[in-house]
Amino acid sequence: MNQEYIKPDNWSIIEEGFEEGRVKSSESLFSIGNGAMGQRANFEEGYSGETFQGSYIGGVYYPDKTRVGWWKNGYPEYFAKVLNAPNWIGINIVVDGAELDLATCKAVDNFRRELNMKEGWYQRSFSVTLSNNTELSIKVTRFLSLDIDEIGAIKYEIKPLNKEVEIVAIPYLDSGITNEDSNWDDKFWNTTQITSEGRQAFIEAHTMKTNFATCTFMESKVLLNGAELKEKPSAVKEDDLKVSHSYLQRVNKDETLEIHKFGGYVVDTNHEREALVSAAKTVLKKASELGFDALLALQKEAWAKIWEMSDITIEGDVKAQQGIRFNIFQLNQTYSGTDSRLNIGPKGFTGEKYGGSTYWDTEAYCIPFYMATKDQEVARNLLEYRYNHLEKAIENAEKLGFSNGAALYPMVTMNGEECHNEWEITFQEIHRNGAITFAIYNYYRFTGDYSYIPEMGLEVLIGIARFWQQRANFSEKKGKFVILGVTGPNEYENNINNNWYTNYLAKWCIEYTLEQVQKVKEGYPEDHDRIIGKTKLTANEKMAWENVAKNMYFPYDSEKGVFLQQDGFLDKELISVEDLPASERPINQKWSWDRILRSPYIKQADVLQGFYFFEDHFTSDELEKHFDFYEPFTVHESSLSPCVHSIQAAKLNRMEQAYVFYLRTSRLDLDDYNKEVEEGLHITSMAGTWMSIVEGFGGMRMVDDKLSFVPRIPDQWKRYSFKVNFRKRILNISVGQDGIAFELNGKEEMSIRVNGNRVVLPPHKEVVVQK
Amino acid sequence: MNQEYIKPDNWSIIEEGFEEGRVKSSESLFSIGNGAMGQRANFEEGYSGETFQGSYIGGVYYPDKTRVGWWKNGYPEYFAKVLNAPNWIGINIVVDGAELDLATCKAVDNFRRELNMKEGWYQRSFSVTLSNNTELSIKVTRFLSLDIDEIGAIKYEIKPLNKEVEIVAIPYLDSGITNEDSNWDDKFWNTTQITSEGRQAFIEAHTMKTNFATCTFMESKVLLNGAELKEKPSAVKEDDLKVSHSYLQRVNKDETLEIHKFGGYVVDTNHEREALVSAAKTVLKKASELGFDALLALQKEAWAKIWEMSDITIEGDVKAQQGIRFNIFQLNQTYSGTDSRLNIGPKGFTGEKYGGSTYWDTEAYCIPFYMATKDQEVARNLLEYRYNHLEKAIENAEKLGFSNGAALYPMVTMNGEECHNEWEITFQEIHRNGAITFAIYNYYRFTGDYSYIPEMGLEVLIGIARFWQQRANFSEKKGKFVILGVTGPNEYENNINNNWYTNYLAKWCIEYTLEQVQKVKEGYPEDHDRIIGKTKLTANEKMAWENVAKNMYFPYDSEKGVFLQQDGFLDKELISVEDLPASERPINQKWSWDRILRSPYIKQADVLQGFYFFEDHFTSDELEKHFDFYEPFTVHESSLSPCVHSIQAAKLNRMEQAYVFYLRTSRLDLDDYNKEVEEGLHITSMAGTWMSIVEGFGGMRMVDDKLSFVPRIPDQWKRYSFKVNFRKRILNISVGQDGIAFELNGKEEMSIRVNGNRVVLPPHKEVVVQK
């Protein structure tokens, strides 16, 4: 925990004071991204202290050779990893022969960072006393452009405070970079060409194996007191990996030297492989014609548009306000939704962990956010991503012994191939497959756009239904179908039998698919014929599916009246988390794995995840009973846990509990609850934070094809508001302590439900419902 | 399978013909050892084909940094590995400028290997046509001396067949060796000094981290037609890792050049660290004073003594005879029982796999063999080995959250520390702990030597009982104690609940320990006080133990009348192995791990292992019922599986089945059933082979402190015999198709049971019991 570190502010993340021990954490927290690329808040100038260097390009990955202790059949040979890309931000500074390095200088004062979320820029300022007693004031502003998404910009300002000095400013590009999580210290990049032309330089490098060709580029200029210096830099190439430009300038006390640097990447996924340098030049030309300030002005406009649609306001609680904006900001930095080849890695562009790839988080947590805050094409692109990977998912299932087009989507993927290797997860955490079916259902439920299903989705649904039917087996003993040997969402249980969540999801997936086959047959007979022709789905097979769905086994304890997380759950020593000494937590750091497994402790919602997805299948009393049974055993050691519990606590009108869960999910990284923020941010769970306001406090649901709200508000807040893009109309909901105001931005009136009652909203007119 | 490869022979392992693809397999099969060291049957001369080089020194290991995919708390940081030691066997041969290399020469004819098990030597002979058309006849004889266990001897004979030639013979030492299973390509050895003196050379090297200091040494001489050549060799040192001696000699057609080479290791575990070279010289002096032939004569005598005690004869079935002798021979090559710091690695000195360390195989499978074919001190040394590791076992349990002196012996160890890292095995295959208690019980039952228990064993028993009591938890649901999250002997199930074998063993361990505490209290009050003082065992704690033992839960199906391997076993798809297509087997090569786990297939005896250990707790009918239920699901993909099933099939008088299992266990490596013999031999399961004759066909048991036999004989055999060292008397049992002959070698008569009847055996007189 780190609760007093980031200054509370409605719109900015602010750090004050320099502590070497915090550098890596702040590098994560102040990360910037524009959907196409992103980077940790590494210093531009040289830094010899502890740092975790990271700059990432969306969709550029490396298949690192798998590392295991004991190989199991079915493990993938490669683990696709997000790649640390060549460094373009670097600007070394030497003043009167002394290098600027915050780790070795005599003093750093007034150190301040600000990540301005409203406008989309990051700034660092400080004064420093170098080893030669030169005192400087430094201010660095940086952003990654949303408008020209292949470029970033840096303005580096230096003011000597105590004397006239000679400053050498050395902007550079460096492809001599590595991944911290490399399994075998393989070389991930091959640098083929370094070019320096005037104020521009280019490094062409391609990734090994995947052979993504990239050109990293820069252009810089230097200004003294605002006037551009015409002198050209001298260029140096080093080790065939690095190119530096060097500007030498005498600067009087209190004068300001500015270095403006543009840099970024062009990649052969978007350009001709042979013409990357000229593509880079085109990008640089656009940027330099605008100049730093004009590009920044565009940035502010672009972010204003994003906030216009996706902002959530909270009055009366700055920390809560800062938390939700940080979450929304990071989600928008990570994924813009314009490219269906991309997805949302759990760490986005802020670190390497988890390979940076696609998890079930996308379908279970992220889609609702993008669906309601963007145009619906964005969510559809995410669904299309999985459609494009269907063949690979079928191959993956074949590797594990399934047949006839059964599809098992990978636990972790970059290109559709599994790239995770821990048998209890890779082979057993199969519920991920169901989340994809659920997302298809959810997309149609919310957007009303059925077209995805006949066009693409039905094939995905069929592949997944086939998997479930084959994966279940009939237990003579129980007279029911069982699903043995799985890991549920609660990863603190492995290789369990009849995980209620998995069994329930499997049954539902089959039934939903059968319905859709029928619906497509009736409504889209051509698509139906095409798909049946392709998948060779027979009536017999559908009967087999039906049989499994109808006769699925669900572990249940009649005494307690609860579904059991899995067979045998009640054999555990049922001591609640409350009664566990604090010194034993987090158990994933304090306990050996076997002890965790035989304990009743739950990492994240499992049975309750099912109650979240299928809330309308159960009564509130049933929810309450299960919440009261399972939450006390839940340690919330997954970032994905507090949001679901916050939503359910709100639904049960337990506002204090809902509020605590909300703070935990929204400030997970800002307050570093899990003591690991230095590894990067928890991007996907940030969508859960959004849900905990919109679905939790706002009580938003789809009921009978209409939006429904049961808004509640924590005592700590005066008012909060959010917006929803519902079928191309923007609805603004503002919830105060005693009333709820709705305002519809659209051409026609819309009917919604509020606390169960029908309310008709005319366009552009605030409607207030009293509590 | 490889059934026609090794020539059937009563006393020798014979290979005829040279096939490059078989070299690695034969290197395993023709391995030699003397308990202190051992080596694969690598060629002396250079060989550029596929080979797996291995020479190993008992007790010299390296803690390789653990390699895992996903780290779990509690994993050991290091994995102790048997070390490939410097090569002392090498003799390069160059004839008229052409190197002798079987991979590149023009022709190899009459290639033959023989491992003479009766006399303990290995010989390879062939004729060869070199690239320069020189034809040579070669014969190489090699053995590792039982008498001087730090030395081995090689006689390398070369005869030119088609012309006079110039032969350069280059015996060498080489410490530039590696382990194939190195995790991170660490350097395991540091070579510190290379010395060459006349015909002798020495390489001093110590292992990294563990710092075992060794001196590898050699001495050679050359003889022409039997007459020693006096010329001294020229010496060359290379790369600070290798020293070669070079002998140049013209040899006429049909003359024979012999190189006699002695070599081996001295280690600072047995000598002063500073005086290793002089220790080596002492060893060489002894050997060279004797000369090759005299040392070989001693070898034959030493092996004759071993066979005198441990031979099993089988008449009428050469393959069965060859199989059992191969097993007995290898066990004796691996472990002589004289050094309580050593133990029996699953691959002995024949490969690297499994780290070469101690497993529960020792207690469950090997002790009966050594107990009955050696003096009882040998088995006691094996028990003492675990006593010496008790503190480490307590530390190991503490790492996993246990307290108060609870001991969990490691899954794999070299020095008492756990060196295995697969959570489902390392943390969960806890039944290994019970095998240690069982071995203590078994040792006393067979030898009658109770002294180990008050002197050492009781502390071990208490540590283990404590573990079981703490590891069980009370299930409110079942009203019984359960043991959750384990892996039983059947490693094709992981993280299961209430493995019947584990629960049964746990209960028995506690009860046996309680009995022994009482017995020591009564019979050895001083030891009792010392141990109670040390362990602080209280009456309350014993009551807690008792409570767990009394109220242990055992999964049972009343309909089928069988104990269940674990909770939920009957939910599986119960298709017997017979009905599984052959193309799907072995499942550990064909199926992904999750598929194996949810299948009913059993790797090795699990419930039946409990029936084996505790046969007298159950009726024959119960055994039959469980055998008939479980064996059909058993794939026997562990080398430890067929022996137990052979014993039980024999007990159930199913002789055909018992015979098939016997062949499988006894010729597992010779016929390469598992297609992996090139990795090394399955040493520990060889003790199981011995059991399958003595306990299986011979029906030997301990009943009321007396030996009891219910001998049976397969139809395929005329007669078989074995010997048992029972409490310092040697009993010879010979079983024919119609009668059983006993002969006792001892001073006093002995009473035994045969087929349930009391038989009194006078000394030195054959007693025949009709069938």
ipTM score: 0.92
CA distance B371 to B17: 39
Q: What's the pLDDT tens digit per position in A156-190?
A: 999 999 999 999 999 999 999 888 888 777 888 99
Among the partner residues A70, A475, A588, nearest to B571 by beta-carbon distance: A475
- Distance linking the first and last C-alpha atoms of chain B: 37
Q: Considering only CB atoms, which chain A residues are within 8 Å of B478?
A: 571
The alpha carbon of residue A611 is apart from the nearest alpha carbon of chain B, in Å, by: 25
- Sequence-separated (6 or more) residues with CB below 8 Å from residue B455: B527
pLDDT at A68: 81
Return the SS3 of B98.
strand
* B73/A423 touch (CB, cutoff 8 Å), yes or no: no
Q: Considering only CB atoms, which chain B residues are within 8 Å of A595?
A: 400-401
Q: Which of B27, B491, B631, B679 is catalytic?
A: B491
CA distance A380 to A374: 11
CA distance A379 to A449: 11
pLDDT at A73: 86
The alpha carbon of residue A503 is apart from the nearest alpha carbon of chain B, in Å, by: 14
Q: Choose from B428, B491, B576, B598 for mutation: most chain A CBs within 10 A.
A: B598
Among the partner residues B66, B73, B592, nearest to A592 by beta-carbon distance: B73
Q: Does A185 touch chain B (CB under 8 A)?
A: no
Q: Considering only CB atoms, which chain B residues are within 8 Å of A573?
A: 473-474
* A484/B568 touch (CB, cutoff 8 Å), yes or no: yes
Instruction: Please report the sign of the dihedral spanned by the C-alpha atoms of residue B675, residue B678, residue B684, residue B690.
Output: positive
The DSSP element (H or E) to which B219 belongs, if any, is: strand B213-224
A441-467: burial string, b at 16+ Cβ within 10 Å, e else:
bbbbebbeebebbbbbbbbbbbbbbbb
Cα Rg of chain B (Å, integer):
27
Say if residue A586 is preceded by a cis peptide, omega within 30 of 0.
yes
Q: What's the pLDDT tens digit per position in A138-154?
A: 999 999 999 999 999 99
Count of CA atoms in the C-beta half-sphere (13 A) of B116: 16
CB–CB of B675/B620 below 8 Å? no
Count of CA atoms in the C-beta half-sphere (13 A) of B528: 14
Q: Considering only CB atoms, which chain A residues are within 8 Å of B424?
A: 495
DSSP conformation class of B8: P
pLDDT at A2: 64
* A593/B399 touch (CB, cutoff 8 Å), yes or no: no
Query: Which positions 585-604 of B are in contact with A (Cβ < 8 Å)?
Result: 588-595, 597-598
**CA B524 from centre of chain:** 35
CA distance B434 to B441: 11
Count of residues in chain A: 771
pLDDT at A182: 81
Q: Considering only CB atoms, which chain B residues are within 8 Å of A72?
A: 592-593
CB–CB of A441/A461 below 8 Å? no
* A592/B478 touch (CB, cutoff 8 Å), yes or no: no
Q: Does B621 touch chain A (CB under 8 A)?
A: no
* B67/A72 touch (CB, cutoff 8 Å), yes or no: no
* A401/B592 touch (CB, cutoff 8 Å), yes or no: yes
CA distance A17 to A13: 14
- Sequence-separated (6 or more) residues with CB below 8 Å from residue B640: B361, B364, B365, B489, B604, B605, B684, B685, B688
Query: Which positions 430-489 of B are in contact with A (Cβ < 8 Å)?
Result: 473-478, 482, 484-485
* A591/B73 touch (CB, cutoff 8 Å), yes or no: yes
Q: Largest alpha-carbon pair distance within chain B?
A: 89
Among the partner residues B72, B572, B592, nearest to A427 by beta-carbon distance: B592
CA distance B593 to B177: 34
* A598/B68 touch (CB, cutoff 8 Å), yes or no: no
CA distance A188 to A182: 9
Q: Choose from A427, A486, A495, A502 for mutation: most chain B CBs within 10 A.
A: A495
Mean pLDDT lowest for which of A85-99, A333-347, A430-444, B299-313? Answer: A333-347
pLDDT at B179: 85
Question: What sections of A253-334 are H helices per DSSP?
Answer: 276-310, 318-334
Q: What's the pLDDT tens digit per position in A14-66?
A: 999 999 999 999 999 999 999 999 999 999 999 999 999 999 999 999 888 88
Mean pLDDT lowest for which of A218-222, A559-563, B131-135, B184-188? Answer: B184-188
The alpha carbon of residue A462 is apart from the nearest alpha carbon of chain B, in Å, by: 22
* A478/B67 touch (CB, cutoff 8 Å), yes or no: no
DSSP conformation class of B441: H
The string of DSSP letters for A200-245 reads: EEEEEEEETTT--EEEEEEEEEEEETTEEP-PPPEEEEETTTEEEE
Closest CA to A735 of A722, A748, A746: A722
Banded pLDDT at A3 (limits 50, 70, 90) = low
* Mean pLDDT, residues A308-316 taken together: 96
DSSP conformation class of B758: E
Q: Considering only CB atoms, which chain B residues are within 8 Å of A400?
A: 592, 594-595
Closest CA to B610 of B574, B566, B653: B566
* B401/A66 touch (CB, cutoff 8 Å), yes or no: no
Nearest CA in chain A to B398: A592
Chain pair A-B, CB pairs under 8 angstroms: 130
Q: Does B728 touch chain A (CB under 8 A)?
A: no
Q: Please, what is the Cα angle at A720 between A716 and A723, to 5 degrees?
A: 155
**Percent of chain A residues topping a pLDDT of 90:** 90
CB–CB of A499/A606 below 8 Å? yes
Banded pLDDT at A74 (limits 50, 70, 90) = confident
Query: Which positions 361-420 of B are in contact with A (Cβ < 8 Å)?
Result: 399-401
Q: Does B130 touch chain A (CB under 8 A)?
A: no
Q: Which of A15, A491, A493, A695 is catalytic?
A: A491
Q: Does B495 touch chain A (CB under 8 A)?
A: yes
- Distance linking the first and last C-alpha atoms of chain A: 37
Stretches where chain B sits below pLDDT 50 are none
Among the partner residues A73, A401, A478, nearest to B571 by beta-carbon distance: A478
Three-class SS string for A696-765?
Answer: HHCCCEEECCEEEECCCCCCCCCEEEEEEEECCEEEEEEEECCEEEEEEECCCCEEEEECCEEEEECECC
B491 is catalytic: yes
pLDDT at B71: 85
Q: Does B65 touch chain A (CB under 8 A)?
A: no
* A66/B69 touch (CB, cutoff 8 Å), yes or no: yes
Compute the CA torsion angle B126, B131, B133, B135 (nearest 10 deg): -20
pLDDT at A71: 85
CA distances for B201 relative to A484, B176, B271, B276, angstroms: 62, 16, 18, 13
Banded pLDDT at A339 (limits 50, 70, 90) = confident
Among the partner residues A484, A572, A588, nearest to B571 by beta-carbon distance: A484
CB–CB of B7/B16 below 8 Å? yes
Closest CA to B277 of B234, B232, B220, B218: B218
Among the partner residues A400, A423, A591, nearest to B401 by beta-carbon distance: A591
The string of DSSP letters for B161-179 reads: SSS-EEEEEEEEEE-----
Nearest CA in chain B to A493: B495
CA distance A415 to A395: 13
Closest CA to B84 of B285, B316, B347, B311: B347
pLDDT at A340: 85
Q: Please, what is the Cα angle at A551 between A549 and A553, to 5 degrees?
A: 100
Q: Which long-range contacts (CB under 8 A, 24 or more apart) does A228-237 make?
A: A232/A198, A232/A199, A233/A171, A233/A199, A235/A196, A235/A201, A237/A194, A237/A196
pLDDT at A1: 56
CA distance B261 to B292: 8
Three-class SS string for A372-412?
Answer: HHCCHHHHHHHHHHHHHCHHHHHHHHHHCCCCCCCCCCCCC
pLDDT at A65: 85
Tokens read off for B11: 């006393």
CA distance B179 to B61: 11
Side by side, the strands of the sheet bearing B313-315 are: B313-315, B719-726, B729-736, B739-745, B767-770
Closest CA to A556 of A548, A573, A568: A568
Return the SS3 of A664.
helix
Nearest CA in chain B to A494: B495
Among the partner residues A485, A570, A588, nearest to B594 by beta-carbon distance: A485
pLDDT at B2: 64
Instruction: List, in sequence order, every residue forming a beta bridge with B195; answer none if it has no partner.
Output: B202
Banded pLDDT at A442 (limits 50, 70, 90) = very high
Among the partner residues B399, B476, B598, nearest to A485 by beta-carbon distance: B598
Taking all residues of chain A, what is their mean pLDDT, rounded to a whole number? Answer: 95
Instruction: Please report the sign of the dihedral spanned by the C-alpha atoms of residue B112, residue B113, residue B114, residue B120.
Output: positive
CA distance A214 to A199: 20
The region that residue B680 occupies, defined by phi over 0 for left and psi between -120 and 50 for alpha, beta otherwise, is: left
Q: Considering only CB atoms, which chain A residues are within 8 Å of B594?
A: 74, 400, 423, 427-428, 485
The region that residue A355 occupies, defined by phi over 0 for left and psi between -120 and 50 for alpha, beta otherwise, is: left
CB–CB of A438/A363 below 8 Å? yes
Q: Choose from A186, A399, A554, A592 for mutation: most chain B CBs within 10 A.
A: A592
pLDDT at B603: 97
Q: Considering only CB atoms, which chain B residues are within 8 Å of A422?
A: 69-70
Is pLDDT at A355 greater than 80 in this prediction? no
Q: Does B72 touch chain A (CB under 8 A)?
A: yes
Q: Considering only CB atoms, which chain A residues are within 8 Å of B423?
A: 593-594
pLDDT at B238: 87
* A497/B568 touch (CB, cutoff 8 Å), yes or no: yes
Q: Does A144 touch chain B (CB under 8 A)?
A: no
